[in-house]
């Protein structure tokens, strides 16, 4: 079981490690989201074309 003693917690809180654990910043996802959006728009257009082609073939 994970039982943390008061002494350990105090030592942990004084450490740089603790600051890192509690203050991990949120990731910068701006590029990933931008790229994902470009792909989403592109694939939506491609699927639309495929659906129209299928409809015109009477599928």
Partner 1 sequence: MRHMPPVLESEDFWVEHLTDVPDNLRLLKAFRSHGNASGLEMYLKELAIRDEKAHESRTYLVKDAMTGELAAYFSLRSCLIPISVTKTLFDTIPAIEISNFAVNEDYRAKQRAVSKIGAYAFVKFIRPLAIQASTIIGAKWLCLYALPEMKLIDYYSGLGFTRLDKDRELFVYSHVKPKYDQDCIFMYQNICSE
Size of the site for partner 1 (CB under 8 A): 29
Helices vs strands, H then E, count in the chain: 3, 0
The CA distance from 7 to 4, in Å, is 8
Cα separation, 3 vs 1, whole angstroms: 6
- Each residue 25-54 as x (binds partner 1 by CB under 8 A) or -, in order, gives xxxxx-xxx-xx-xxx-xxx-xx--xx---
Q: Could you say whether residue 18 binds partner 1 (CB under 8 A)?
A: yes
- In this structure, the chain runs to a length of 59
Q: Under the rule (CB under 8 A), what is the footprint of partner 1?
A: 8, 11-12, 15, 17-18, 20-21, 24-29, 31-33, 35-36, 38-40, 42-44, 46-47, 50-51
């Amino acid at each position: 079981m994970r039982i943390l003693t008061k002494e350990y917690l105090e030592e942990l809180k004084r450490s740089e490690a603790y600051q890192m654990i509690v203050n991990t910043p949120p990731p910068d996802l701006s590029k990933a989201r931008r790229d994902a959006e470009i792909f989403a728009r592109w694939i939506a257009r491609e699927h639309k074309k495929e659906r129209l082609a299928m409809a015109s073939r009477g599928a």
